[in-house]
């Protein structure tokens, strides 16, 4: 059964992805592009908003190749 993730802001997600081995590559406006330091072909775009919608969070995690369990372990 999938676990529920509490609402995260874009800044909280950026710091969690940093702990999972992602690096901030660039930022344009309110969107940050991050790439994996392990596999440079894997990356994701994160909007720096107050609170991310659940569908947006799922999409970012899918783009980054990270499971919800991995995210919950670093929060």
CB-based burial label for 9 (10 Å; 0-12, 13-18, 19+): middle
Tell me the residue ranges of DSSP E strands in the chain. 22-28, 31-36, 43-47
**Per-residue model confidence (pLDDT) at position 2:** 56
The reply to whether CATH 3.40.630.40 applies to domain 10-74 is: no
Instruction: Read off the pLDDT of residues 44-63 as tens digits, 9 standing for 90 and up.
Output: 999 998 899 989 999 999 99
Predicted confidence (pLDDT) per residue in 14-25, tens digit: 999 999 999 999
Say if residue 1's pLDDT is above 50: no
Which residue reads 């107050």 in tokens?
50
User: pLDDT value at position 22?
Assistant: 95
Q: What is the mean pLDDT of the chain?
A: 90
**What does the alpha-carbon distance between residue 50 and residue 57 come to, in Å, rounded to a whole number?**
13
Domain boundaries, the chain: 10-74
């Amino acid at each position: 059964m999938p676990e529920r993730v509490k609402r995260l802001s874009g800044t909280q997600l950026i710091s969690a992805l940093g702990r999972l081995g992602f690096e901030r590559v660039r930022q344009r406006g309110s969107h940050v592009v991050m790439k994996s330091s392990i596999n440079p072909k894997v990356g994701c775009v994160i909007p720096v908003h107050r609170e991310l919608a659940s569908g947006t969070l799922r999409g970012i995690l899918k783009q980054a190749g990270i499971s919800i369990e991995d995210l919950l372990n670093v929060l």
